[in-house]
Structure 1
Amino acid sequence: MKGPLVDPESVPAWLRPLVEISGKLDSTAFTRFTPPEDELTRAASVLILFGHGERGPDVLLLRRADTLGSHAGQVAFPGGGADPEDDDAVATALREAEEETGVDPSGVRPVAILPELFIPVSKFAVTPVLAHWHAPSPVHAVDPAETAAVARVPLADLADPANRFQVRRPGTTYKGPAFTVNGLFVWGFTAGLLTVLLELGGWAREWDRGDVRDLDVALRDHLLATD
């Protein structure tokens, strides 16, 4: 299932465009990857939680612990693999978000489901769940062994051209969008998804797509600047 979970007119005006368009999208709006027919995938969900803070609309992000075996140190949406006890993708997203960030699910209203997206590296089939944080609660890194930091990042900061560029991996065909914002270095799956959401939500600004940096160098420079 994909598309709105609620009447788009019932969500704040700044979030309405995303809810309205959610049912018209397919995976190609976000990624070029499709699950191989002969390969098993694992179901997962992420919670794309939009709130409204002092500086306008924002989104909840976390930085994974540097000691994790996969995607160590990367910035991500709260989320993870589905458990047998989860009723659906929404339940997975809410459970994972609570476990990772301590967010109170009672203050979160799921409003739309985006198309399932395949991540080749981990072989996850990820369902993004859009939600409105109508009653924000305190958040923090619940388990430092899994989560290093949690932050509400204003969409205006993500859209700021000064915080945007592209990264590439020398020796590979990979090139994709990246952000440095609020002490976070965002790239990969999360940056790609944010890039599309900024466009669809009407928050995007023109930025220099010709600014392409080697991933390792950009990450090193970021770490030096934030030490």
Structure 2
Amino acid sequence: MTRMGNREATETDGLPDWLAPVRTTAETVRPEDLSRFLPPPTGGRRSAVLVLFGHGPDGPDLLLIERARSLRSHAGQPSFPGGAIDPEDDGPITAALREAEEETGLEPTGVQVFGVLPDLYIPVSDFVVTPVLGWWREPSRVAPGDPAEVAEVFRVPVSALADPAHRVRLRHPSGHLGPAFAVDGHLVWGFTAGVIDRLLHLCGWERPWPRSRTVDLGDPSIFR
């Protein structure tokens, strides 16, 4: 990442070839291609998340956290590292890297930010979220920073997320239906699953999956 005053910039040189469709998507995608929940004209709580791609033992993967169950917002949900944009942050890139470091112990200098997706909206918590795309060029050790906020830090292979056997449509008690991923004992749903679902589709990584398979949140059969 480079900075010029209060401006933030991204770097695209030196990315692995498999990230090319993600970079292209970041350059061309429209907000409505990613979600039907778009930010209101005014208001909303500004925040940023780090969508961090790495390369682990099972190939390309994503870094996720599980939020502590004691939190007021999105308790117990797997999510991208991230949080509110503070006044001292230069912008969403700075905020996403800072939050990722606080939550996981990630070394920000090992991350190459190569794109920023359009702002999206989480109505239930009134967050206006900027997803920041990163390449984990130099992986560092990660673990929960504060157990009161983060219960677990884990990496999920992109191949596992694209595996039709791990994909379902999840019905929330509110009645909302959305994509979800049941992988490695984790149920990824909500905003995070929506972004992953759209990236798999837009990047050409999606595989046909049984969209008729619908489960309710909390259904124990989801991991069978």
TM normalised by structure 1 equals 0.90
Q: In the alignment, which residue of structure 2 is the partner of 1:17?
A: 21
| 2:185 is aligned with 1:187 | no
Q: In the alignment, which residue of structure 1 is the partner of 2:198?
A: 196
Where in structure 1 do 4 or more consecutive aligned residues deviate above 4 Å? Answer: none
Q: Is the 8 A contact 2:115 2:132 kept in 1?
A: yes
Q: In the alignment, which residue of structure 2 is the partner of 1:87?
A: 90
| In structure 1, distance between residues paired with 2:173 and 2:131 | 29
| In structure 1, distance between residues paired with 2:11 and 2:90 | 18
Cα 1:171–1:61, aligned 2, differ >3 Å: closer, same or farther?
closer
1:68 to 65, 71, 82: 71
Where does structure 1 lack aligned partners over 5 or more consecutive residues? none
Q: In the alignment, which residue of structure 1 is the partner of 2:10?
A: 5
2:103 to 91, 94, 100: 100
Cα 1:180–1:84, aligned 2, differ >3 Å: closer, same or farther?
same
Partner secondary structure for residue 218 of structure 2: helix
| 2:35 is aligned with 1:31 | yes
CA displacement 1:176-222 (0-9 Å, x = unmatched): 011111221111100010011112223221110010112232xx446
Counterpart residue type for residue 109 of structure 1 = Q
Cα 1:10–1:40, aligned 2, differ >3 Å: closer, same or farther?
same
CA displacement 1:111-166 (0-9 Å, x = unmatched): 00000001111111100000000100010011110000000111011111111110
1:1-227 matches, cutoff 5 A: 5-7=10-12, 10-37=14-41, 40-169=43-172, 172=175, 174-217=176-219, 220-221=220-221
Aligned CA RMSD, in angstroms, stands at 1.7
Cα deviation, residue 171, structure 1: 5.7
Cα 1:221–1:64, aligned 2, differ >3 Å: closer, same or farther?
farther
- Percent identity at matched positions? 50
| In structure 1, distance between residues paired with 2:166 and 2:212 | 14
TM normalised by structure 2 equals 0.91
